Amino acid sequence: MKKLFIFFIFLISLFLIPFSRIYAQEKEPFSFIYFTGVGCSHCAKTDPFVLEQLPQKYPQLIIFEYEIYQKQENAPLLYQYNQEYGSGMGVPLAIFGQNDFLIGDSPILENIEGVIDKKTNKLPSLQGTVSFNNLSLSSLPGKPTIWSRGRVLTKIQDSQIENGFLKDLLLKEDLASVLEKINYEIVEPQEIALSGKSLSFEKAIKIDDWLFQWKGEPNLEEGKTAIIPIEREINSQECRSFTLTKILSLAAVDAINPCALAVLTLILLAILTYSPKKRKDVLLAGLFFSLAVFIMYLFYGLVIIKFFQLIQALANIKIWLYKILGGVAIILGLLNIKDFIRYKPGSFLTEMPLSLRPKMQNFLFKITSPKGAFLIGALVTIFLLPCTIGPYVICGGILSSLALLKTIPWLLLYNLVFIIPMVGITIICFIGFTTMENISGWKDKNIRYLHLISGIIIFSLGLAMLMGWV
């Protein structure tokens, strides 16, 4: 009897296993990746349907949205997903798995519900498909926005917190029971921009580095925490991929550019030739020239940034911009390294063209006062542009993801670093530590090494940008 009982239990277990698997599949949410861009006209047709209507209609649906136009850190992910899943480089894009995706407004609007109705779906991650139940939300790349049941969970910055309750916030029907078990800060609800519109919410909480928002019940416990306003994550672009190191590296490359140093030495020589005993004029001329360069390059920087912001309005430019800038930096670095190996005055993109030098010298030798140094300095920046514009264009492209006014502190920092060698040379000559002839001779003697240093720095930065290391 005992053996018969064990055999009977074994048969029941075999019978129940398939049903338990079916039940597990039914409980597994349907997850997919959705790439979009705020400002994309095609995304304006799909965003409200995919992100607002579908999560309301399908309670077990989880959508991982990656916005790539305003969140620059998300843009490289589109390329990586294409490498992994063959999904293409356009938006809007919904990825379900290997060679299983919908791209474009009409295909998504016409077919996505049919896809959702037919099957459950594991999340297509960059490491292969993964069950939502086994997914670590803190390990998600970039800055995703996760949608489910009319609720939205936004990753503000990298976080290592336990994510079980975050999943419960998204999926549990009884949201009040989840909120009772966790600590949170009540914050002001923040609008989330979609392409063509924005969504507002009634309630919001901050849990570590995640922002969770919803409408309707349950009400929050006002006494649990104070209401703490937070910045709208979608517009906190200062946290994006450009860094202080990038800006300072580009500025340093520009600062040791032989062109700018050569022009300054010519100006100081012109002043010394005209008034050899008035050393104060040398100091003022150098400082006024440096100030003119600072002001004019600040203006040029704003123009460059505005240009990049205008072209980014085109559909997929934003996706490629960072990679293109990295490629430009690599080319510029190689050209400078080439000048170290085989130096030729007036090289393309690394020095002032020889054809411009006589005209520039005619301007410089007319300088007879510090005021003249300022006026001529402003004019001479036009001649300097061909040999100094490369790093500045890359800098402008990186900064173009910010609002124009917010780029000004970065441009001020860049140009401050850019003129430091000019100010340094001016002071050294004023105090009599060395002569202009010695400085000019040192520059000519070491010009190949200046190109080498510039080339290595900017090539390394470009490679890091192209590979996604920074």
Residue 342 CB: number of other CB atoms within 10 A?
8
pLDDT of residue 260: 67
pLDDT of residue 11: 45
pLDDT category of residue 408 using cuts at 50, 70 and 90: very high
Q: Which residues pair with residue 213 across a beta bridge?
A: 152, 204
In this predicted structure, the answer to whether residue 18 has a pLDDT above a threshold of 50 is no
d(CA 446, CA 339): 12
pLDDT of residue 443: 67
Return the structure tokens found at 318. Answer: 């934003």
Return the structure tokens found at 69. Answer: 């136009």
pLDDT category of residue 65 using cuts at 50, 70 and 90: very high
Give the burial string for 21-44 (b: 16+ CB within 10 Å, else e): eeeeeeeebbbbbbbbbbbbebbb
Task: State mean pLDDT over 70-82.
Answer: 86
pLDDT category of residue 470 using cuts at 50, 70 and 90: low
pLDDT of residue 444: 73
pLDDT category of residue 249 using cuts at 50, 70 and 90: confident
Residue 371 CB: number of other CB atoms within 10 A?
12
pLDDT of residue 434: 65
pLDDT of residue 62: 93
Contacts of 10 (CB under 8 A, 6+ apart): none
Return the structure tokens found at 213. Answer: 């928002």
- Across 172-181, 311-320, 414-423, least confident range: 311-320
**Whats the size of the chain, residue-wise?**
470
In this predicted structure, the answer to whether residue 390 has a pLDDT above a threshold of 90 is no
- Across 6-20, 138-152, 253-267, least confident range: 6-20
Range with the largest mean pLDDT of 71-75, 102-106, 164-168: 102-106
pLDDT of residue 241: 42
Are 213 and 204 in contact by the 8 Å Cβ rule? The answer is yes
In this predicted structure, the answer to whether residue 222 has a pLDDT above a threshold of 60 is no
Between the alpha carbon of residue 459 and those of residues 32, 336, 449, the distances in Å are 37, 9, 15
pLDDT > 70 fraction of the chain, expressed in percent and rounded: 76
Q: How far apart are the first and last CA of the chain?
A: 70
- Between residues 448 and 225, which one has the greater pLDDT? 448
In this predicted structure, the answer to whether residue 265 has a pLDDT above a threshold of 80 is no
Range with the largest mean pLDDT of 66-80, 102-116, 237-251, 454-468: 102-116
Task: State mean pLDDT over 286-292.
Answer: 87
Q: Is 271 helix (H, G, I), strand (E, B) or coil?
A: helix
Q: Is the dihedral of CA 345, 349, 350, 356 positive or negative?
A: positive
In this predicted structure, the answer to whether residue 186 has a pLDDT above a threshold of 80 is yes
Are 225 and 202 in contact by the 8 Å Cβ rule? The answer is no
Return the structure tokens found at 438. Answer: 């010695």
pLDDT category of residue 223 using cuts at 50, 70 and 90: very low
Return the structure tokens found at 110. Answer: 């016409």
In this predicted structure, the answer to whether residue 322 has a pLDDT above a threshold of 80 is no
pLDDT of residue 151: 92
Task: State mean pLDDT over 203-220.
Answer: 83
pLDDT category of residue 49 using cuts at 50, 70 and 90: very high
Tokens 């949608």 correspond to what residue? 147
* CA angle 138–142–148, rounded 5-degree value: 65
d(CA 312, CA 310): 5
pLDDT category of residue 162 using cuts at 50, 70 and 90: low
- Between residues 431 and 125, which one has the greater pLDDT? 125
In 43-181, the DSSP E strands lie at 61-67, 93-97, 100-103, 123-125, 128-130, 145-148, 151-155
Q: Give the mean pLDDT of the chain.
A: 78
pLDDT of residue 29: 86
pLDDT of residue 197: 83
- Between residues 244 and 146, which one has the greater pLDDT? 146
pLDDT > 90 fraction of the chain, expressed in percent and rounded: 19
In 135-272, the DSSP E strands lie at 145-148, 151-155, 185-186, 192-194, 197-199, 203-207, 210-214
- Between residues 124 and 458, which one has the greater pLDDT? 124
Tokens 């010695």 correspond to what residue? 438
Q: Which domains does the chain have, with CATH numbers?
A: 25-237 (3.40.30.10), 241-467 (no CATH)
In this predicted structure, the answer to whether residue 305 has a pLDDT above a threshold of 80 is yes
